[in-house]
């Protein structure tokens, strides 16, 4: 769809501001009302459901740690390979007391990653198997230890008080790309490469690139997104632009995929110079939310200058729900970017306004198939 940014969802419905909503909230917050509601069947069911959902939020961190342990120990892969196992067998294998391993497996079954079988045995569940089938998901789950450590003191993150572990993990965001060590660059490249394939597939489902096009992927890392573009469109060519340290594995990856002759590599930093010319389409895949509005505007100006009239910009990244808050964008990714120390999650409306402020028109915002993977928009440089 074409987006009218002036009217798009950042505003609050007048109904949401009705005085009765505030009165209802104050009533619900009274202990006496809760006791009265518990005696009425219909309201009791609503109150019970609300209570269960509140508790689910409360215990979410514990559930995430159960997930981390099952992945890092290798329990999911173990059960996939061997079939159902008893807790004492796994306890011996992983050097965990048997009664505690039983609690871990029971927890895994409670959150749907495992399933409990007859005789007190445990097998991998549908969701657990799905984790193993998603490229890079296990690495992302383990990487969340950095975020969890920072969120041990969420007020410190909100108040920007002190250094965070994620800021150290992503030094390129703060302009430290030139000083990025080879180990950090490799870790970053691997993590991005593993997760980028899902992003690429969803992006190109929403905004296909057809015909004879030359695509410049800014911040494209090791070329995963461009590889998917070229695999789907044999008439396309690609240009890859990123920090030299981050692009180290790009050439070998592209050549291994048989795409080396269709992609040119352009090492550099968009902070320090112009973007290469010659592209019909420029893509920013999980780039803007890493940076402040000031940095984003400067990058968008460079994108606009690099494109020919009629050229197209595609932005794909997790986004805020704006007027309709969304869990993925407004909870997980919002706090992730805060812990990084720079950048922010923006709604499609906010990104569109930034793009239009530098001259882009005809903003399109397709419905995302999986907003927890990515959302996207495109716009055009006027002819």
Residue 120 CA to residue 168 CA, distance in Å, equals 44
pLDDT at position 41 is 74
In angstroms, the CA 175 to CA 383 distance is 34
Q: Tell me what pLDDT residue 10 has.
A: 46
- For position 50, what pLDDT does the model report? 84
Residues of the chain with pLDDT under 50: 6-14, 176-178
For residue 27, the model assigns a pLDDT of 67
Q: C-alpha distances in angstroms, 359 versus 215, 250, 363?
A: 20, 32, 11
Return the DSSP state at 333: I
Q: What is the pLDDT of residue 45?
A: 80
| Model pLDDT, residue 166 | 85
At a CB cut-off of 8 Å and minimum separation 6, what does 61 contact?
A: 148
pLDDT digit string (tens) for 187-235? 555 666 667 888 999 999 999 999 999 999 999 988 999 999 999 999 9
Quote the pTM value.
Answer: 0.84
């Amino acid at each position: 769809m074409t987006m009218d940014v002036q009217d798009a969802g950042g505003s609050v419905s007048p109904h949401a501001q009705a005085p009765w909503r505030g009165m209802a909230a104050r009533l619900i917050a009274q202990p006496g009302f809760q006791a009265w509601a518990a005696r009425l069947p219909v309201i009791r069911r609503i109150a019970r459901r609300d209570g269960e959902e509140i508790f689910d939020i409360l215990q979410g961190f514990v559930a995430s740690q159960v997930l981390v342990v099952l992945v890092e120990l290798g329990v999911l892969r173990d059960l996939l390979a061997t079939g159902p196992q008893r807790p004492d067998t796994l306890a011996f294998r992983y050097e965990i007391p048997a009664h505690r391993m039983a609690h871990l497996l029971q927890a895994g079954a409670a959150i749907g990653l495992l399933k409990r079988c007859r005789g007190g045995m445990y097998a991998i569940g549908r969701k657990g198997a799905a984790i193993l089938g998603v490229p890079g998901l296990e690495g992302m789950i383990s990487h969340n230890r950095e975020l969890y450590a920072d969120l041990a003191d969420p007020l410190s993150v909100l108040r920007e008080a002190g250094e965070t572990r994620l800021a150290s993990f992503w030094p390129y965001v703060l302009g430290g790309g030139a000083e990025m060590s080879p180990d950090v660059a490799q870790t970053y490249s691997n993590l991005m490469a593993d997760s980028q394939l899902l992003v690429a597939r969803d992006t190109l489902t929403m905004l296909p690139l057809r015909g004879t096009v030359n695509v410049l992927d800014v911040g494209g890392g090791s070329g995963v997104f461009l590889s998917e573009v070229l695999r789907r469109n044999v008439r396309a060519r690609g240009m890859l632009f990123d920090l030299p340290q981050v692009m180290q594995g790009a050439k070998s990856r592209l050549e291994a995929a048989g795409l080396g002759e269709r992609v040119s590599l352009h090492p550099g930093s968009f902070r320090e110079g112009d973007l290469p010319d010659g592209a019909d389409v420029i893509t920013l895949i999980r780039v803007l939310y890493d940076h402040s509005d000031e940095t984003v505007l400067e990058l968008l100006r460079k994108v606009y200058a690099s494109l020919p009239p009629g050229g197209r910009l595609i932005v794909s990244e997790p986004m805020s729900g704006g007027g309709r808050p969304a869990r993925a964008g407004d909870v997980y990714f919002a706090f992730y970017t805060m812990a990084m120390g720079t950048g922010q999650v923006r709604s499609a409306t906010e990104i569109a306004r930034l793009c239009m402020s530098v001259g882009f028109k005809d903003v399109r915002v397709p419905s995302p198939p999986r907003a927890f993977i990515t959302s996207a928009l495109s716009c055009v440089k006027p002819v």
